[in-house]
Amino acid sequence: MHFQGLPARGCWLGYEQRVALPGLISELLRQGVLSGPVAVTRDHLDGGAVAAPHRETEGMLDGSDAIADWPILNALAAATCGADLVSLQHGGGVGIGESIHAGMTVILDGSDRAERKAARVMRTDPSLGIIRYADAGYAEAEQKAKALGLKPWD
């Protein structure tokens, strides 16, 4: 992991790391190693949370570069799974009218309830990105979806 900033930390995690993170943070909170609450957030930079035809999703295999359904679905899924904050941004550094992005935040306080909600969000969020790219025809995403038991074609 790469970290930056104090007192907050920015890090980039893979799928498995993102799925494990709520349990790890919750355990540290319960042990008193961390004081909480702890906010875990993901901004607009995720495969299933962006439609930016001049940047992140430029040149998608299936031509879905600018289709806003994916970030809207991402935001709705995050809200349904229990995210504490869900956002939709128009622009996301690309320019107003040029993109739409979704973001989410979960709050961990050491409780079982917060951990369960965060675990749902942190699994669904990257899964949607994998499904999006698998749906678009990317072989690596199709392989990852199958390996994880995600079934976007059913």
Q: What is the pLDDT of residues 53-75, one digit of tens each?
A: 888 888 899 988 888 899 999 99
Catalytic-residue membership of 81: no
Residues 6+ apart with CB under 8 A from 75: 49, 86, 87, 88, 102, 104
Could you read off the pLDDT of 104-135 as tens digits, one per residue?
A: 999 999 999 999 999 999 999 999 999 999 99
* Comparison of pLDDT for 75 and 92, the residue scoring more: 75
Choose the catalytic residue: 11, 24, 76, 85: 11
Query: Model pTM?
Result: 0.85
The answer on pLDDT for 44 being more than 70 is no
Give me the CATH topology for the region 15-145.
Urocanase fold (3.40.1770)
Closest Cα partner for 129 from 60, 83, 32? 60
